[in-house]
Chain A
């Protein structure tokens, strides 16, 4: 019969409409602003209204989520910050849009390079968040961040990040990427043990 297809279609819409109330009832008023509910709502069993009430509600970023890179430093006793970066330049060489700029430190006496960066810049307007710098860093010194709320008012003054702005402690890295951190630490420990065994 003519119009049956439209009616069936309207039936689907009506089902969605009713379902959104059913799902509200199921959570008894705790459907919103509730991390537990958000997880279910956004998962494969989610029903009803699919939207997230940003910024009051925020989706948790998965561990592999990548945004602008940052540099890692070790927190040594006495408040000393030790950069992991050796300014080998691999990240600058692999960067597709060439947004990483590294200035190597030279020994003031001999003039020979010291494996530590004097300055490290990332032009975040140009960075395409591909994560290749992180993948090919042999020292685990550069990692992708999770902080995506970096909008600013002035592009010309605020969008070239220097070493001070880019540096974050290893503990921060461990907090946002626990699995990766644990795996890398295990590899490190193994290497250290091998080195120690060789010395003996």
Chain B
């Protein structure tokens, strides 16, 4: 199988005269495409130029120009920088063609853009709200939309200093006064319209043949089901115990992280990124720091780079231990494997706590460095873990689980995703690599010091749950290899470029930074207009986009397998719902 045809360079501007122009705004890059040619351009890029992977699709609201802009980041599977496409549409009648027919991975991302920005995508198969609920008034990410507890457009707020007369936000806007119900509304007598429509859409008429007639039923898994790892709901159509159709429903943990991010100043966003994928906060920090550093044009000193990579790889180990442990929980192996895995994770969290001050909400990275140096004895502790304990424990976990016949029979051949599908659905991280696509941002577009570290991109070829389990074991081993090099070569010196500043100056422009998070490619798209608060702050959340293929993976399997397949994607709802 060829993942991508031999890439030929396509000169978009000559091939589509008048329809494609280079983006000439200062510190912007990519191409502006007229909406009517967007699908055609995307198709050409995919089929002729090898840009088969749609990483991120998001909107920006340019209020002053009266325009909404969709920004698409396309990548080649053999690596290299992004090709950015942008399409603009007026704010008051925002319509763009949907790219789902070219890149099925655009599905959820376009729904998000419709939900939060109100861009109507013509040709989208299921253009409904995804994070907010059906019936919500307005599109919250638009610049002129204000939240219920709105205080000011940007932090810091005037009321805090020097006349800080304290009050609680709810005193100003008590619950009850900011909610309006329609006439004659009672909670008991209310069936959500959206749910009714959703169920109606999923009820399928059973195929009638001469054999036994069976009804198909629609069942909710979640949102409060423990197997969903949080508040996530799957609406499934069942034929007996076999899944006919599955639709994920999310947004229960939605807090409009991106809107908060646009109210915040740049440095304030750092602790908020911890709360995205709260299992791996250090890597979240890293993605954000790298993006803003791109905009600012600074680089952290050598020692800081090493510390960052050390923390990011330790994070990968903790995340994969957690993922493996809870995959086993989903399989029914109640907590013994999970707790064996968590024991090692706790020891790594001890390092985070002693260095960053917190076990999970690390908030450790700063623009141009890290918050503080490693405390005395920390490198020795890390060395003992990485060289002595962890390899032994990973081998033990491997011996404990890998050959277990129950695990093999439950996992092998379940939830298969082929390489073509994985790319088309914009899957990322271990799920993509378990389907036989050796794509890892650390190698495809190296950041930090990964270009000089010796490690392999783990890859497995069957694309089932078992391979997604195996690849996590492989990746832990590769991470240990990286850690050995980092700890061995840790240089001395400064940990911060320049003086630490509480308000950084970020020149106007746009930047997309991405890192290989344990769960997949985590991207930050930040637009600055030179002010203290970011103009646009978008997160390409791997947990969210990886769910696009969940329905596809589950079809034809049993209810119990759905739980396992979801576990093998390894989602975190903090990041999915943002």
User: Which A positions have Cβ atoms within 8 angstroms of B?
Assistant: 2-6, 8-9, 12-13, 16, 42-46, 50, 62-66, 87, 89-90, 92-96, 98, 100-104, 113, 119-121, 123, 125, 128-132, 135-136, 144, 156, 160, 179
Task: Compute how far the CA of A62 lies from the CA of B389 in the bound complex, rounded to whole angstroms.
Answer: 21
User: What is the minimal beta-carbon distance from A127 to any residue of chain B, in angstroms?
Assistant: 11
Apart from A96-B272, A98-B155, A113-B162, 13 more pairs, CB < 8 Å: A4-B403, A44-B385, A46-B347, A65-B357, A66-B357, A94-B156, A95-B268, A101-B160, A103-B165, A120-B164, A128-B361, A132-B502, A179-B375
Per the bound structure, the CA–CA distance linking A95 and B371 in Å amounts to 16
Whole-angstrom distance between the alpha carbons of A19 and B308 in the complex?
36
> Are A63 and B162 touching (Cβ within 8 A)?
no
Q: Is the CB of B357 within 8 A of A90?
A: no
Contact A96 B268, CB 8 Å, known A5-B404, A87-B162, A113-B162:
yes
Q: Measured between alpha carbons, how far is A145 from B210 in the docked complex, in Å?
A: 74
Which residues of chain B come closer than 8 Å to A179, judged between CB atoms? 375-376
Interface mask (B351-370 → A, CB under 8 Å = 1, otherwise 0) = 00111111001010000000
Q: Output the residue of A102, A113, A130, A156 with the most chain B CB within 10 A.
A: A130
Within the complex, the shortest CB–CB distance from B334 to chain A, in Å, comes to 13
User: Which residues of chain A are within 8 angstroms of B165 by Cβ–Cβ distance?
Assistant: 101, 103
Instruction: Output the residue of B155, B162, B340, B399 with the most chain A CB within 10 A.
Output: B162
Contacts of B354 in A (CB 8 A): 62-65
- Closest residue of chain A to B269 (Cβ to Cβ) is A96
The answer to whether A103 and B400 have CB atoms under 8 Å apart is no
Chain B contacts for A100, CB-based, 8 A: 160-161, 164
Pairwise interchain contact B502-A93, C-beta atoms closer than 8 A: yes
Nearest residue in A to B405 (C-beta to C-beta)?
A5
Nearest B residue (CB) for A156: B168
Asked whether any CB of chain A lies closer than 8 Å to the CB of B346, the reply is yes
B241 at the interface (CB under 8 A from A): no
Contact A44 B381 (CB under 8 A): yes
Which residue in B156, B357, B358, B404 is a CB contact (below 8 Å) of A9?
A: B404
Find the A residue at minimum CB distance from B408: A5
Bound-state Cα–Cα, A66 to B372, Å: 13
| Residues 153-190 of chain B, each 1 if its beta carbon lies under 8 Å from chain A, else 0 | 00111011111111010000000000000000000000
Expressed in whole angstroms, the minimum distance between the Cβ of A181 and any Cβ of chain B is: 14
Which A-B residue pairs are the 5 nearest by beta carbons? Answer: A101-B164, A5-B403, A130-B271, A104-B162, A89-B161
| Alpha-carbon gap, A92 to B407, bound state (A) | 53
Contact between B272 and A98, CB atoms less than 8 A apart: no
List of B residues within 8 angstroms of A119 by Cβ: 164
* A143 to B371 Cα, complex, angstroms: 15
CB atoms of A131 and B357 under 8 A apart: yes
Q: Kindly list chain A residues whose C-beta atoms are within 8 Å of the C-beta of B361.
A: 128-130
Cβ contact within 8 Å between A65 and B403: no
From DSSP, what is the main secondary structure of chain A's interface residues? mixed
- Closest residue of chain A to B403 (Cβ to Cβ) is A5
Q: Which residues of A contact B396 (CB under 8 A)?
A: 12
Q: Which of B264, B340, B375 contacts A64 (CB 8 A)?
A: B375
Interchain Cβ contacts under 8 Å between A and B, 11 examples: A5-B405, A43-B347, A44-B385, A62-B350, A62-B354, A64-B354, A89-B161, A94-B502, A95-B160, A98-B155, A132-B502
**Chain B residue contacts of A136, Cβ below 8 A:** 500, 502
- In angstroms, Cα B162 to Cα A144, docked, is 22
Judging by beta carbons under 8 Å apart, are B406 and A6 in contact?
Answer: yes
Which residues of the partner chain A approach B399 to less than 8 Å between Cβ atoms? Answer: 8-9, 12
B531 to chain A, nearest CB (A): 15
Distance in angstroms from B317 CB to nearest chain A CB is 14
- Give the contacting residue for B160; candidates A43, A92, A135; CB below 8 A: A92
State the CA gap A156–B401 with chains docked (Å). 49
Complex interface: chain A residues within 8 A of B162 (CB): 87, 89, 102-104, 113
- Contact: B264 with A96, CB < 8 Å? yes
Say yes or no: is B529 at the interface (Cβ < 8 Å to chain A): no
Q: Is B343 an interface residue (CB 8 A)?
A: yes
Q: How far is the CB of B341 from chain A (nearest CB, A)?
A: 12
Given the contacts A130-B271, A132-B267, A103 and B163 also touching, CB distance less than 8 Å: yes
* Nearest B residue to A128, CB-CB: B271
**B 377-389 to A, binary, CB cutoff 8 A, 1 in contact else 0:** 0000100110011
With contact pairs A6-B406, A123-B166 given, residues A93 and B358 touching in the complex (Cβ less than 8 Å) = no
A195 to chain B, nearest CB (A): 20
Known interface pairs A94-B502, A129-B358, A131-B357; A9-B160 also in contact (CB < 8 Å): no
Given A3-B405, A9-B400, A65-B358, A96-B271 contact (CB < 8 Å): yes
With the chains together, A129 CA to B361 CA distance in Å? 9
Measured CB to CB, the nearest residue on chain A to B356 is A64
The answer to whether A103 and B357 have CB atoms under 8 Å apart is no
Instruction: Report the Cα distance A132→B375, complex, angstroms.
Output: 19
Alpha-carbon distance A144/B160, docked complex (angstroms): 20
Check B27 for interface membership: any CB of A closer than 8 A: no
Partner of B268 from A103, A113, A132 at Cβ < 8 Å: A132
Contact A8 B156 (CB under 8 A): no
On whether the beta carbons of A98 and B404 are closer than 8 Å, the reply is no
User: Counting CB contacts under 8 A, is B214 at the interface?
Assistant: no
Alpha-carbon distance between A98 and B442 when the two chains are bound, in angstroms: 36
Which of A45, A66, A96, A123 interacts with B358 by CB under 8 Å?
Answer: A66
